[in-house]
Amino acid sequence: MSANVLSNVIEDYLALWSRPGVTREFLSLYTDDCVYEDVARGSVARGKPELESFYQEVRAAFPDFAKVFVSSMSTEDHGAVQWVMKGTQTGDLPGLPATNKKMSVRGISIFEMRGDKIKELHEYYNFAEALKQLGA
């Protein structure tokens, strides 16, 4: 796989986090046995069914959720993208009832690819800052 293919996957990844109603398209970026680790929250989704639950949980809590591109780099089968995630928490998250407050936090996603699909993704961001902005 070329670095250009991975760059396109990164672009699609950010775009699909930033649009509601695209769960199927979002899941199509991943292998069936994918691993999606949200390091900040200490959670890991293994496989598409768990990833779908995680994605829908975030989209339900933050209907206006978006990840805005800052920078990226990629090799043939690994990549990283720096982004700013933004959203208004109008729905509940586990342990955090809706606050109706906005957050904007910088983070990074590290990708490992298998062919043209995401095999593993690990996300890092300042969870304490997100909670502070949400009033938790």
Query: Could you state, in order of their start, the residue ranges of all structural domains in the chain?
Result: 3-133
Task: Give the residue among 104, 115, 123 at the shortest CA–CA distance from 13.
Answer: 123
Q: What is the CA radius of gyration of the chain?
A: 14
- What integer best gives the mean pLDDT of the chain? 94
Spans of the chain, pLDDT less than 50: none
Which residues lie below 8 Å from residue 69, measured CB to CB, with a gap of 6+? 11, 14, 81, 83
pLDDT value at residue 122: 98
pLDDT value at residue 71: 95
pLDDT value at residue 75: 86
**What's the pTM?**
0.90
pLDDT value at residue 4: 77
pLDDT value at residue 99: 96
Q: How far is CA 89 from CA 28, 61, 125, in A?
A: 26, 5, 17
Fold of 3-133: Nuclear Transport Factor 2; Chain: A, (3.10.450)
